[in-house]
């Protein structure tokens, strides 16, 4: 079967900006002397002074002729960056490509403290040390295979039977993990709130921790969030956090992959999300659940946008976005 080249992406503009955050001032720290430039002189480095902290990074892809009135905003998960959406670790196009070819305007975010958003000194500004995820932990937490199936050498690793993640590219995937901090939820949400204020109405698609933030953003800022899709959300607002009387919240989608029962922490995470979804439904909010195995798509990891069937899964997301924003 021969494939014609797809039509080119036609974009009015590609740009980026930073939003949120503010100045933090430090004093009383010792001055260091270091060499930075190749063959350059030593110079004093004085850490006392002003820093920007709490900002996030956003890259915007704007269509020459958008087919949809509302842009899609992509929020990655914990210890990740917007690179999650751009390609798959085995080199196929990511969901960014899918959304651009569907002619959505797309905004790809790096959350506070991650990727191009930068991060702040600790213990002076951040109070805790960063956390770096091991490949060992990712193999288990991302439901690639059983915890005991991880080995340093790729040929010794054991993945789940029927795994859709491109297991041979797991190390390439791990190259895109970045450090993170526990307890920075409010700072992250503050920057997301600043973004939504700047953007006006949009569709938020969040993954994992970003899925939980997306659900929370829809609850806090329902005037800005026209629809919210949480892909494998690791958290959700508490069911009793819905306003009483309930306000009009946008349509919600929660999408889940496979192998949850083999990683019990995911059953607990999902139960929190399910409890919130039940509360939403009681409040007459539209909630669609896309349980991929129940719909005949088996073997998805925690990262369906990177799995071998990422196009098929992404198509379901697109269908939902088009259906619920056209309604």
Q: Enumerate the β-bridge partners of residue 109.
A: 58
Shortest gap between Cβ of 51 and a second copy (angstroms)? Answer: 6
Q: How far apart are CA 58 and CA 15, in angstroms?
A: 9
Residues 147 and 259: beta-carbon distance below 8 Å: no
DSSP letters spanning 34-58: E--STTPPPEEE---EEEEES-EEE
Question: Should residue 104 be labelled a site residue for a second copy when binding is judged by CB under 8 A?
Answer: no
CB nearer to a second copy: pick between 236 and 321: 236
Q: Which of 30, 123, 152, 244 binds a second copy (CB under 8 A)?
A: 152
User: 24-63: which residues touch a second copy (CB under 8 A)?
Assistant: 25-26, 32, 34-41, 43, 45-52, 55, 57, 59, 61
CB nearer to a second copy: pick between 176 and 310: 176
CB nearer to a second copy: pick between 275 and 312: 275
Give whole-number Cα distances, 120 to 22, 52, 184, 279, in Å.
12, 8, 12, 37
Q: How far apart are CA 201 and CA 102, in angstroms?
A: 19
User: 226-265: which residues touch a second copy (CB under 8 A)?
Assistant: 234-238, 265
Q: How far apart are CA 206 and CA 78, in angstroms?
A: 11
Shortest gap between Cβ of 182 and a second copy (angstroms)? Answer: 4
Q: Which of 71, 102, 115, 307 binds a second copy (CB under 8 A)?
A: 115
Shortest gap between Cβ of 5 and a second copy (angstroms)? Answer: 7
Number of residues binding to a second copy, judged by CB under 8 A: 87
Q: How far apart are CA 165 and CA 298, in angstroms?
A: 11
Shortest gap between Cβ of 248 and a second copy (angstroms)? Answer: 23
Residues 302 and 208: beta-carbon distance below 8 Å: yes
User: 178-207: which residues touch a second copy (CB under 8 A)?
Assistant: 178-179, 182, 185
């Amino acid at each position: 079967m021969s494939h014609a080249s797809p039509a080119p992406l036609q974009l009015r503009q590609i740009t980026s900006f930073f939003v949120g955050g503010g100045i933090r001032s430090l004093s009383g720290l010792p001055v260091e002397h270091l060499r930075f430039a190749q063959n350059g002189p030593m110079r004093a480095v004085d850490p006392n002074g002003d820093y920007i902290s709490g900002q996030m990074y956003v890259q915007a892809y704007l269509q020459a002729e958008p087919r949809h009135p509302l842009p899609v905003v992509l929020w990655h998960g914990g210890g990740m960056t917007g690179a999650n959406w751009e390609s798959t670790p085995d080199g196929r196009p990511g969901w960014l490509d899918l959304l651009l070819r569907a002619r959505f305007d797309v905004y790809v975010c790096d959350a506070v403290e991650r990727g191009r958003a930068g991060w702040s000194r600790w213990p002076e500004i951040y109070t805790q040390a960063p956390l770096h995820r091991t490949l060992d932990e990712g193999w288990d937490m991302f439901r690639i295979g059983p915890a005991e199936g991880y080995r340093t050498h790729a040929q010794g690793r054991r993945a789940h039977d029927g795994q859709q993640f491109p297991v041979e590219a797991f190390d390439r995937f791990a190259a895109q993990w970045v450090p993170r901090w526990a307890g920075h939820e409010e700072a992250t949400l503050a920057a997301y709130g600043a973004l939504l204020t700047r953007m006006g109405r949009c569709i938020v698609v969040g993954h994992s921790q970003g899925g939980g933030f997306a659900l929370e953003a829809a609850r806090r800022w329902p005037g800005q969030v026209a629809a919210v899709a949480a892909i494998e959300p690791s958290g959700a607002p508490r069911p009793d956090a819905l306003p009483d009387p309930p306000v009009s919240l946008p349509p919600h989608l929660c999408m889940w992959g496979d192998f949850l029962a083999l990683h019990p922490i995911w059953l607990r995470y999902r139960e929190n999300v399910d409890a919130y979804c039940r509360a939403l439904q009681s409040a007459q909010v539209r909630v669609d659940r896309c349980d991929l195995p129940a719909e005949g798509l088996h073997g998805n990891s925690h990262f369906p946008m990177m799995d071998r069937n990422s196009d098929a899964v992404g198509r379901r997301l697109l269908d939902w976005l088009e259906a619920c924003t056209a309604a």
